[in-house]
């Protein structure tokens, strides 16, 4: 499976570190390509557009806090972006919320915690069952959330 990834300037180095930590992952890097200041919503949009078209895909977004990326990505139908600062939060976001985008904060979460969160996110499946109806309520007016 190809995992979408993007960052703003604050997350640029962390994005490279995580890609290097997970060489077994096929990454589709949607930018940015340097530390030159950019607007994080533009890069959240790149990942979220592809996820909304195919919500079975997974994405990773990285900015300074992770919060801005999460806020923007969650404006898209069928995108469930989760801000995670450790593996437990990442695992629960997949298991209970069927998150399809992991958001990380490079300025507030160290590399080891980001890597652990990413590992948990990639290896955890949605539990379904009692969570199905709750996740559907997150979806909004569109079908097949």
What is the SS3 string spanning 29-82? ECCCCCCCCCCHHHHHHHHHHHHHHCCCCEEEEEECCCHHHHHHHCCCCCCCEE
Question: Considering 96, 103, 114, 131, which one is annotated as catalytic?
Answer: 96
Question: Considering 9, 63, 103, 114, which one is annotated as catalytic?
Answer: 63
Q: Is 114 a catalytic residue?
A: no
> What phi and psi, each to the nearest 5 degrees, are found at residue 22?
-125, 65
SS3 24: coil
Q: Is 9 a catalytic residue?
A: no
Query: Which residues form the catalytic set?
Result: 63, 96
């Amino acid at each position: 499976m190809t995992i979408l990834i993007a960052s703003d300037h604050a997350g640029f180095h962390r994005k490279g570190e995580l890609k290097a930590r997970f060489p077994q992952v096929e990454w589709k890097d949607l930018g940015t390509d340097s530390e030159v200041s950019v607007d994080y919503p533009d890069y959240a949009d790149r990942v979220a557009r592809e996820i909304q078209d195919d919500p079975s895909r997974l994405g990773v977004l990285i900015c300074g806090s992770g919060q801005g990326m999460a806020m923007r990505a969650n404006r898209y139908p069928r995108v469930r972006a989760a801000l995670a600062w450790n593996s437990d939060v990442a695992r629960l976001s997949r298991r209970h919320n069927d998150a399809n985008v992991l958001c990380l904060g490079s300025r507030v979460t160290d590399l080891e915690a980001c890597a652990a969160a990413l590992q948990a996110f990639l290896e955890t499946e949605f539990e379904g069952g009692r969570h199905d109806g709750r996740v559907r309520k997150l979806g909004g007016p569109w079908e097949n959330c």
